């Protein structure tokens, strides 16, 4: 696409072109400093660079072409929205902008100032007309994973009609029944939006595609246990972030190719850092594009990140939907059960997350864990204390960090992370 074609498309989406130009310029500089400056990157990283360079360009053009062909676009902010159902209706499932400071002053006119950066970000992106994914969506799906989001969607619904799924807060049988009813309600809403009936055959294919993407990410996670680490944490996080934006079939094929390259690199004993480099795992809140601040700080401190226990990490890829079901009812049950395994901090109690964090730390051979919470995120800040105790019991040290999307605390973070890394050497 030419620059003029890009701008014509963005203008039709009613983006603020001047502000959008400024955003892309900043992101381009940011990406160059954090990603393109890395040594020993994989050849497969060219795919990551291309997707990021065209995430507001060719990917949006593909989505517009899909809409012109009669397909609907469903945008979401959370891993609880069942992608399998969206795909079964031949709709496009995309993540929405929520990982950068944008339109903050405008957002703080709709939600309290002491709201987490992720919530203020998606409201700010909409109010400032900066996110082509939001403007391309025929339906936006929210969810009740925290009180902040629940109340924010009330305000957001005034500027972008939002369908909200009620996520249960416990793992009881009654909660499972509630979630199953929400899955069925979402299926009916998607059928209404698309005008298409979701058959068992179509849902089975949707499950197969979504599971294929998760299997590729599981393969990536397993390969990162190698020492020396074959891929940087920054690139691995980027892969997880792109999984929410790119076409799922293309993404799966490209990540499997990248994993083939990783296997060759491991066989040759090569990595992005020398063997014995301190290995850290990140745990906690999601890091949406382009939230790369903490990984950049950590790997700049001489460590390598070998795992991400978050929604932009293993929480999204750890569990598959059982593919043995043949009837629509059996598949709905399988989808319900798979999503009930998500160990979001919204659940109480949430002891399975403690088990999952310690197990992943062992699997990827992490020397330590950095627990990351967004400022004002009560669920993950509370669980940081429990995660610390669970890791201490396993002899794994943890550093707890609270931050936001601004760059004001970078030097402070560097000091704390460097001190933590020194204790691991």
Give the DSSP letter string of 95-127.
Answer: E---SS--SHHHHTTTS-TTS-HHHHHHHHHHH
What's the rounded Cα separation, in Å, for the pair 244 and 78? 10
Residue 158's pLDDT is what? 95
With a cut of 70, list the residues of the chain below it in pLDDT. 1
Angle in degrees, CA 241, 36, 261, rounded to 5: 70
Q: Name the pairing type of β-strands 398-403 and 162-165.
A: unpaired
Give the DSSP letter string of 303-332.
Answer: -EEEEEESTTTHHHHS-PPP----SHHHHH
Tell me which H or E stretch contains 249: helix 248-267
Number of Cβ within 10 Å of residue 133's Cβ equals 24
Domains annotated on the chain, with CATH: 203-321+327-336+342-422 (3.40.50.11900)
Least Cα distance to 377 among 162, 145, 167 occurs for 145
Least Cα distance to 16 among 29, 7, 28, 27 occurs for 7
What's the rounded Cα separation, in Å, for the pair 424 and 212? 36
Residue 233's pLDDT is what? 98
Residue 2's pLDDT is what? 74
Residue 277's pLDDT is what? 97
Residue 1's pLDDT is what? 64
Question: In this predicted model, what pLDDT tens digit does every residue of 206-231 receive, in sequence order?
Answer: 999 999 999 999 999 999 999 999 99
CB 226 within 8 A of CB 366: no
Beta-strand runs (E) in 99-206: 139-143, 162-165
What's the rounded Cα separation, in Å, for the pair 396 and 403? 22
CB 332 within 8 A of CB 184: yes
């Amino acid at each position: 696409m030419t620059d003029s074609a890009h701008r014509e498309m963005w203008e039709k989406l009613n983006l603020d072109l001047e502000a959008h130009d400024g955003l892309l310029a900043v992101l381009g500089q940011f990406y160059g400093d954090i990603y393109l400056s890395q040594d020993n990157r994989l050849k497969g990283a060219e795919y990551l660079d291309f997707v990021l360079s065209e995430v507001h360009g060719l990917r949006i053009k593909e989505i517009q072409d899909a809409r012109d062909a009669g397909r609907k676009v469903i945008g979401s902010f959370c891993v609880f929205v069942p992608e399998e159902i969206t795909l079964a209706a031949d709709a496009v499932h995309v993540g929405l902008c929520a990982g950068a400071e944008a339109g903050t002053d405008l957002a703080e006119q709709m939600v309290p100032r002491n709201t987490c950066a992720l919530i203020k970000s998606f409201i700010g992106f909409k109010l400032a007309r900066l996110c082509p994914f939001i403007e391309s969506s025929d339906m936006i799906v929210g969810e009740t994973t925290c009180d902040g989001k629940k109340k924010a969607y009330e305000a957001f619904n005034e500027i972008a009609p939002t369908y909200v799924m009620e996520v249960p807060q416990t793992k009881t049988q009654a909660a499972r029944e509630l979630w199953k009813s929400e899955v069925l309600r979402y299926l009916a809403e998607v059928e209404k939006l698309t005008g298409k009936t979701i058959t068992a055959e179509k849902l089975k294919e949707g499950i197969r595609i979504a599971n294929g993407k998760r299997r590729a990410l599981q393969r990536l996670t397993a390969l990162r246990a190698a020492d020396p680490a074959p891929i940087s944490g920054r690139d691995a996080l980027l892969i997880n972030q792109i999984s929410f934006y790119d076409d799922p079939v293309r993404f799966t094929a490209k990540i499997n190719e990248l994993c083939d390259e990783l296997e060759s690199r491991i066989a040759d004993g090569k990595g992005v850092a020398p063997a014995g480099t301190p290995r850290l795992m990140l745990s906690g809140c999601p890091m949406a594009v382009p939230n790369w601040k903490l990984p950049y700080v950590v790997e700049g401190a001489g460590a390598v990140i070998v795992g991400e226990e978050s929604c932009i990490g293993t929480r999204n890829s750890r569990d598959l939907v059982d593919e043995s079901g043949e009837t629509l009812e059996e598949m709905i049950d399988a989808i319900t059960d798979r999503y009930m395994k998500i160990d979001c901090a919204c659940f109480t109690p949430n002891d399975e997350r403690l088990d999952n964090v310690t197990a992943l730390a062992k699997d990827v051979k992490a020397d330590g864990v950095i627990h990351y919470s967004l400022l004002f995120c009560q669920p993950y800040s509370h669980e940081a204390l429990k995660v610390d105790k669970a890791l201490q019991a396993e002899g794994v040290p943890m550093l707890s960090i609270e931050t936001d999307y601004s760059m004001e605390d970078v030097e402070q973070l560097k000091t704390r992370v460097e001190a933590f890394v020194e204790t691991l050497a």
